[in-house]
Amino acid sequence: MTGNIVIEWTVPPVQGTEEMLQKAFRACMEAEKITLPAYAQLMITTDEEIHRLNREYRHVDRATDVLSFPSTAAHPGYTLGEHQNLLRREMDDTGACFLGDIIISLERAYAQAEEYGHSPLRELTYLTVHALFHLMGYDHMEECDKRSMRAMEEKVMENLGVTRVTDQELIKKAEEAMQFAYVPYSHYKVGAALLAKDGRIFTGCNIENGSYGATNCAERTALFKAVSEGCREFSAIAITAEKSAPWPCGICRQALNEFAPDIRVIVSCQGNVEESALPQLLPHGFGPGNGTLDYLGKE
């Protein structure tokens, strides 16, 4: 399968969006098993513009988060021969099938990202995936159709590593990571699951060393893994242990403060869950927001 999503911005672009939305397009095509070349057009714009389009084309006098305008008479399930033939008949002079147009309000994406507690990039990715499945014939007017569409959306978002995660799900990920702990000296296993603002989860466990100073805590294992993969914005971390509440040590608090000074810290042990914000655990914390970069001679 070849193709892409053509993105037009009428507002300042969100950093990192192009690569993620191209991945989202490919993931949707793969999930629906589209093997023929296809593409779609996406415009990311203002509330005012999407309001105008709603009024003109849908007779709805308000702004919405996303609009989809399919260009084919598609139905879910392109694996069926008839639908492959439909796409083949509708190929244009580019040698690919144009699936349709998508319009997203950036203002709505920002507002919904804040409401749900994740990044604008995560919200833009979800809205794009949702709209792409509309272009492929999915709908959510009836409950059975809604379940089918939602299942496809969740499948793609999971494949992209971008999901909405509850605290209990995050704790479960930490518990799974704890099983890999290497603790021949303390015998105190700890697991951590770090939730990025774009929805990705990075896990880690404590790894001890005969030279005690080389030991690494679960929190830093997860954090360093995330940063090494280009992620630097986080909203929550779950930490779990078998014997007592595993509140992060001072070094881990400082490491988290470097990238997420307001992160939620969730600790669990034997079913007991407690929560705190990092500023409560590290009052008057020192980091990039306190002139560190100037001190290092950087702009």
Annotate 39-57 with b (16+ C-beta within 10 A) or e (fewer): bbbbbbbebebbbebbeee
Task: Pull the structure tokens for residue 196.
Answer: 């990025």
pLDDT digits (tens, 9 = 90+) for 237-246: 999 999 899 9
The domain total for the chain is 2
Q: Do 75 and 201 have their domain in common? A: no
H or E element at residue 100: strand 97-105
Looking up tokens 């951590």 gives: 192
Residue 10: is it exposed, middle or buried by C-beta count within 10 angstroms (0-12/13-18/19+)? exposed
Cα 143 from Cα 112, distance rounded (Å): 23
Note the pLDDT of residue 209: 96
Q: Do 106 and 223 have their domain in common? A: no
Q: Do 15 and 122 have their domain in common? A: yes
Q: Do 142 and 231 have their domain in common? A: no
Q: Do 138 and 254 have their domain in common? A: no
Range of the domain at 85: 5-159
Task: Pull the structure tokens for residue 128.
Answer: 């794009």
Q: Do 179 and 105 have their domain in common? A: no
Q: Do 150 and 171 have their domain in common? A: no
Of these residues, 48, 219, 242, 299, which one is catalytic? 219
Of the residues 159, 178, 199, which one is the last residue of a structural domain?
A: 159
Q: What is the CATH number of the domain that holds 291?
A: 3.40.140.10
Cα 299 from Cα 297, distance rounded (Å): 7
Q: Which residues lie below 8 Å from residue 244, measured CB to CB, with a gap of 6+?
A: 269
Cα 42 from Cα 129, distance rounded (Å): 11
Q: Do 118 and 210 have their domain in common? A: no
Q: Is 219 known to be catalytic?
A: yes
Contact criterion met (CB below 8 Å) for 219 and 192? yes
User: What is the pLDDT of the chain when averaged over all its residues?
Assistant: 88
Q: Do 11 and 124 have their domain in common? A: yes
Of the residues 102, 124, 159, which one is the last residue of a structural domain?
A: 159
Of the residues 107, 129, 159, which one is the last residue of a structural domain?
A: 159
pLDDT digits (tens, 9 = 90+) for 96-136: 889 999 999 999 999 988 777 667 888 899 999 999 999 98
Cα 224 from Cα 219, distance rounded (Å): 9
| Among 183, 38, 43, 48, CA closest to 107 | 48
In this predicted model, which residue has the larger pLDDT, 84 or 12?
12
Cα 54 → chain centroid:
28
Q: Do 108 and 199 have their domain in common? A: no
Q: Do 154 and 174 have their domain in common? A: no
Q: Is the pTM of this model over 0.75?
A: no
Task: Pull the structure tokens for residue 103.
Answer: 């319009």
pLDDT digits (tens, 9 = 90+) for 127-153: 999 999 999 888 888 888 888 899 899
Q: What is the CATH number of the domain that holds 147?
A: 3.40.390.30
Q: Do 113 and 232 have their domain in common? A: no
